[in-house]
Amino acid sequence: MFRSSSLLLLAAVLVLGSVAADVVNFVPCADSVDTCTINEVRVTPCPEAQRNVACNIRRRRPSQMSFDFTPNFDADSLEASLGWAKSETEELPLLTLDRDGCKYASCPARSGVKATYTIDVPIEAKFPLSPYTIRWALKDPASGKRCCFTIDIKVVR
């Protein structure tokens, strides 16, 4: 009995440790600091997060990305965007991303209510092997207010 409960405890610790490894560093976008709080960002798989370095994202293998956010605005719908942040104002969008944020987060979004957005992001074979700063955003199409942040990734084989 002691041995099986010890093995179960060890397995639980390993699972919990691997889940915690997915939490990554992020930088809120300057224009959304007052309109939204990004609570936590996760990328799965991302063992590199334990070392606080960019996640190695493999081509042709989907990665799950999710984040917890608390908007300071109400929105009946949310538009999602994800793109390579070439500068503060210039972005190259990921065209294959489903833009309907409500499919992956609870809508309507309510001011002060924490929510989670989770999506599988396909990394196509044609993506160049390179490091990127990517910008995520969920925007209220009516007001233009958004929840936005950037993270660093590295597309690898």
**Band (107; pLDDT cuts 50, 70, 90):** very high
CB neighbour burial string for 81-102, b if at least 16 within 10 angstroms, e if fewer:
bbbbbeeeeebeebeeeeeebb
With a cut of 90, say whether residue 138 has pLDDT above it. Answer: yes
Query: What are the distances in angstroms from CA 94 to CA 134, 138, 140?
Result: 10, 14, 19
Q: For the chain, give the percent of residues with pLDDT over 90.
A: 68
- Secondary element (H or E) of residue 124: none
Which of these CATH numbers, 1.20.140.10, 1.10.540.10, 2.60.40.770, 2.60.40.10, describes 22-155? 2.60.40.770
Over residues 67-97, the pLDDT tens digits come to: 999 999 999 999 999 999 888 778 888 878 8
Domain definitions of the chain by residue range: 22-155
Residues in the chain, how many? 157
